[in-house]
Amino acid sequence: MTVAEFSNRDDGEAQDAAATVIYVCMTCRQPGDPDDLPRRGAALAAATVRAAENTGIAVRPLRCLANCKRGCSAVLRRMDAWSYVFGHLDPATDAGALVQGAQLLSRSADGLMPWRGRPEALKRGLIARVPPIDFQEQSE
């Protein structure tokens, strides 16, 4: 699927209602890849959309997560929870891992994705975790 096809998608209310979202960079490419399409990021986005079908997890392809040297990249986000940025993802193998990680995050009581049960691609590919907008550190 091309960038233009993703941009013109209308997935309706199902994605809008989903509490956990996977944002996948469609413009990711490896150094040395041609500038023209299709890009590896678009392949990862398309595979993730397929892997997330009927799971309740929304997938939103977007342009550039500014993680270019570590692409392919994706973010897992849930309201009132930590967001997770991943890189070095393989379009051929890691779409299912993103969905599994999003499901772990969606079931998390404390807003953190548990390490146990996390797919290997999400253990080795973690770039950052970002606190919720209203986060306040607990003082001890």
Q: How many domains does the chain have?
A: 1
C-beta separation of 122 from 129 below 8 A: no
- H or E segment and range at residue 59: strand 58-62
Residue 1 pLDDT class (50, 70, 90 cuts):
very low
pLDDT score at 40: 84
Asked, for residue 20, whether it belongs to a domain, the answer is yes
Asked, for residue 86, whether it belongs to a domain, the answer is yes
Asked, for residue 140, whether it belongs to a domain, the answer is no
Per the model's pLDDT, the better-predicted residue between 64 and 8 turns out to be 64
Residue 18 pLDDT class (50, 70, 90 cuts):
low
The pLDDT tens digits for 29-73 are: 776 777 776 788 899 999 999 999 999 999 999 998 888 888 789
Q: Is the pLDDT of residue 16 over 50?
A: no
Question: First-to-last CA distance in the chain?
Answer: 50
Asked, for residue 27, whether it belongs to a domain, the answer is yes
Asked, for residue 139, whether it belongs to a domain, the answer is no
Asked, for residue 136, whether it belongs to a domain, the answer is no
The pLDDT tens digits for 127-136 are: 999 998 887 7
Residue 4 pLDDT class (50, 70, 90 cuts):
very low
| CATH number of the domain where residue 66 is located | 3.40.30.10
Question: Residue 58 sits in which domain range?
Answer: 3-130
Asked, for residue 40, whether it belongs to a domain, the answer is yes
The pLDDT tens digits for 76-115 are: 999 889 999 999 999 999 999 999 999 999 999 888 999 9
Q: Say if strands 126-130 and 83-86 run parallel, antiparallel, or are unpaired.
A: antiparallel
Phi/psi for 62 (5° steps) reads -145, 170
pTM: 0.81
Token reading at 118? 């996390």
